[in-house]
Amino acid sequence: MLNLSIHSIQFTIEIVATFAFALSGLIAGIRKRMDVVGLCIVSGVSAFGGGTLRDMLLDRRPFFWVSHSLWLWGLIATCLFAMFFMRERHIGLTEKAIQIPDALGLGLFTALGTQIALELGMPAIVAALMGMMTAVFGGVLRDICCNEIPKAFSDHQPYAVLAFLGSWLLIGLTALNLPEGLILFLSASFTTILRVLAIQLKWQLPSQRIIKP
């Protein structure tokens, strides 16, 4: 019973977060004045690109969007809906509204991706990389499709680095043999909370300061 409700919470977060990732692609596409094809593909890449790249690197099949192909219909419906009903003033609002679901997705998808890689026997650093990639590389591929330097590489806000930390927490807790569901919950919450703090407190990443000699 409890287990069931945990699963429904996880499933709800997955839906909401995937939706948030798709919307980030939609907004990026609208900003570049893409047509309906571009909007659908960039949304899809944002939502499923990270997990797909991870699965290609790990040689894992079927992809999520193959075994759950209904989600592709949801994606197309979202893009068509947005195309007809989204107004300029909605864009900023949407961007703000997806920050929390995006943070939830960052935590959950990182934890899930790391677990998948660990189960396949990957070394810890590779598992951490795969976890981070699951959550972050949809956005990287989105920005490449939009002909931008990926925001995750250059906006100096802690995002991928928090996913990386969350991966390591999951790896550490797994080594302690805690129950799998608890590990997932702790790691995902940790990353999500850090991300929300980073947004609220406007944390900045250190970066290469090019100092004159």
Binding mask 113-142 for its own copies (x = CB under 8 A): ---------xxxxx--x----------x--
Tell me whether residue 95 or residue 148 sits nearer to its own copies (CB atom).
Answer: 148
CB distance 26 to 76 below 8 Å: no
- Nearest to its own copies of 38, 131 (CB atom): 38
Residue type for 206, please?
Answer: P
Nearest to 146 by CA among 134, 136, 158, 138: 138
**Which residue lies nearer to its own copies by CB, 184 or 194?**
194
Q: Judged by CB under 8 A, which of 7, 11, 119, 156 binds its own copies?
A: 156
- 3's tokens: 């287990």
- Dist CA 124 CA 27 (whole Å): 35
**DSSP output for 12-23:** HHHHHHHHHHHH
Pick one of 7, 8, 11, 154: the residue that binds its own copies (CB under 8 A).
154
CA pair distance 174, 182, nearest whole angstrom: 10
Q: Which residues bind its own copies (CB under 8 A)?
A: 29-30, 32-39, 41-42, 52, 56-57, 59, 61, 63, 65-66, 69, 72-73, 82-83, 86-89, 91, 122-126, 129, 140, 144-150, 152-156, 159-161, 205-208, 210-213
